[in-house]
Structure 1
Amino acid sequence: MAYDLAKVTANGNNLIAQILANKSSLSIDKIEISDTQLPSTTDISTMTSVPKVVQTVSANGFSKNSNTLIISTVVDNSSIRADYKAWVFGIWGSDSQNGQSQLIAVITSTNSPDTIPAFSGSTPVSYTYKFNIGFSNASKIQFNMIDDSFATNDTVVHTTGDETINGQKKFKTDPTDGAGNAYAKTVDVNQQLDKKVNIADMRKPANDVAGIEEVNAKQDKIGYTPADDSKVVHTADTSNWQKQKITNDDGTPFINLYGSGADLSKTLQQLSAGFHTIYANSSVTNNPLNGISSVKGFVDIQGTGFGEGTLIGADSNSQFFQYSVWVTNTGVTYTLLSDDSKVAHLSGANNFDTVPTVNNNPLLLASSLPSDLARTGQPQTFTAAQTFSIAPTIKDASKDKGDNQAATMADLKSVENSAWRQLDNKYIIPVSGYNLAPYTTILYKIDDSTHTLYLSGTIVLPSGNDNTVQVTIKLGSIVKSILTFSVGYIGRSAIDSERWNFHWASNSSTNLTFTAYNGVADITATTDGGSVAHVTYDELV
């Protein structure tokens, strides 16, 4: 079985660059296995997750050379209930300082993956894999070992047999011999050698040299003042000192970015919590003074992808610019701060070197206003027609405005609300086969304070011989529903055209139906108390 394609994702390259910049270490968090073959068009560098994961395992060994990380793992089938083809392995890693796990590399077979069989119920089957992943500067990466991971046979030092060990091996406790005696370390030997006196260095024989006890007995005669223990720094005192480096030893910013390949915003978003000093030259992507000036300053990162700070720069004319920096998970905002002495304030006097403008039009000074300019605080008489770009507002609430005073919108609205309006004849519909005379007119007036619609007018058919013809007035364009109605009308008698009879309209939904006798139906007030024809409604359309 061949796994012939191993690539690093863009997130993986960024993570390794961040780890090298922060001098932290790489944790291999997990390895996901998918039973789904990647399409041939898949761009692995853009992948951020593995599709259809069927099994997750841990890395159990790490090694590296100049440009390659070698990550090993063991896959067993003890938890597998159905055979599957291991098409894709996704390796997830994180910076040991912030722990945000990312998909850093993908290994896949293009045509011949291993088949992981289902567990038979007796002895599990195990598969051992080593993945060689190309990274620049791989030899500089430090690994953060996971406590519950285990190493493969070729990555450990054995307690028996002869072995050649490449590189430096560090132990948390000192190694001992079979009897439990610790081996001497080089530093221990050197410390002991520093205490010996070479015979060649002795200017007097040993019997003519004072011992430590004799020196201590004479120290009160030596001209020095012992240190006051309460006024000196002890090792224990430094346990809570801040130990994260903020600047380089020469005082320059600790983070330095150069060229368009570097991105200031992405760098800020990837910083660990703490105080950081930064420099970015003028060609760095997302430098707020890109192409004008380099910037430098600081940011205080208070959580993953969250913080604030300040950047400053200057152009070729030595004009300084200061930016407030706001960092979030979704982006970085750079806000240019103004010189307080050069901006207008909402309170107090503001003196301008030049006349202020609006859309390049200078404002008029109060002292230069024309004498015939209308003032709002006093009566004005216009001797010529005035044209306004927007309707003027009249605040006069008096009822009697006189013959020559302008009406307000409230005045016009009041007239509109109390006015009779003509119903469009398209809403007056006779039965099929008949038409309205063009001088048919139905008027209505709305009193929304009582939800009442008043009606008046005459329905006329073209011929006086059009007897007992039903005509419907549709009010659905005005009201949503009719609650009550009292609409009387008169028409010529069907028997004697010289006589007029009184009738009542009928109601269905929002419609009123009338019968035109000898071509006429005239809506009128009723004889009962002289009530005007009307309907009540729930609400207007």
Structure 2
Amino acid sequence: MATPNVGILTTAGKALIDKVNSGQAKISFSKIVFSSMDNSQLSDMQVKALTAIAPQEVVVSSPETTLDTNSGETRIRATGTNEKLADGVYVKTYGVFAKDDTGSEILYGVTVSPNPNYFPAYDGVTPQAVTYSYKTVIQETSNITMTNSNDVYASQEDLTEALQPYAKTVDVNQQLDKKVNIADMRKPASDVAGIEEVNTKQDKIGYTPADDSKVIHSTLTELVSTDMNTVKIAGFYLLRSGTNGIPNGDDHTIYQVIPFYSSNGVQLAYGTNNAISGMRSWNSYNRFTSWVQFANDSAVAHLSGANNFDTVPTVNNNPLLLASSLPSDLARTGSNQEFTGKNTFDTAPIDKTTGNPYITKDGVPSIPSDVARTSQPTNFTAGLQTSGFDVLGVKAFSDTDDYKTFAAAHPSVITIVTHNTSTN
């Protein structure tokens, strides 16, 4: 992460200084730009390698260049205003550009701000200004083009010097993140208080100006064609035709950004035309989570106790049938059932294996009482025939007396007696 609030000399700037100190070139500082470019995640080495700043929302040409004869430092200072801003902007990067005596322009130095100053859109009445100073050491000061400034803006450094020793000293290489309201500074000299008058009233100054970057603004900032992944400054926003907003959000969705230091934070979305609302977060690796949409409480089934619904759930406005409402004698096809009541069918059931219908009780012919059953002995008392002929029976007799007894009882039975002689 780049060192914050410190002017970092670029590689191209260092090369130009070396040429100036060796007498090979002269240097003039051509402009200072105020940009929303976010370089906070770059290392110092990566910042040094930068050759351009984009976008350049505020550009101050021919900044004031002065030499501090006591320290030998060259100060490049510019005051940028919001008078040309149609939309508000957070200034995250300050860039100093320089030219050599051939007119070739390079990015000389860069300052990265972790707590950006906010420039609102110009309201046509009261302009706002931010003064930025960059200090550098160049040995061959005779090869530096110095300028005189006609600016009428009072910078924080001017006030600091005027209020010494009561005001805090600002680091010589630190950007001045203070806003100065210049609405009353464009008056005739007779109406402007001098340094002496300020000194006489310095004991009555007992406030510390608020750091605008740490104040949550209640006004809405309109973002046009902006990637919400780059919006990490606290405040409220309207996103117009941007990217990475909440799905199904429209131009009337309000976004609230709550950063946690400069590395983590959350974004909240509130729908004003519909019920779309949700949140997501980001971490120090600049990774955003997916948007999570808040549930509509009126459309959520509420549970009470052990997963009990407060009301009966419905499908297409039709209530679901509760298990307690089912008949107690409801048949289950997966288990054996005993049908104790009367069960009727409009048509005879079909055997699923053969495809044949079952016959009803009324379709079964009556069975005579003397029907023979093949699974048990049967006495055919009326005789037994086959093809019109009597069937001969076979009976074995244990001895002669047994035969005589049978023959006497059945005189009409034709008997054929065989004799089986067994020899030992």
Alignment TM-score, normalising by the size of structure 2: 0.37
Higher share in strand: 1
Larger Rg: 2
Alignment TM-score, normalising by the size of structure 1? 0.30
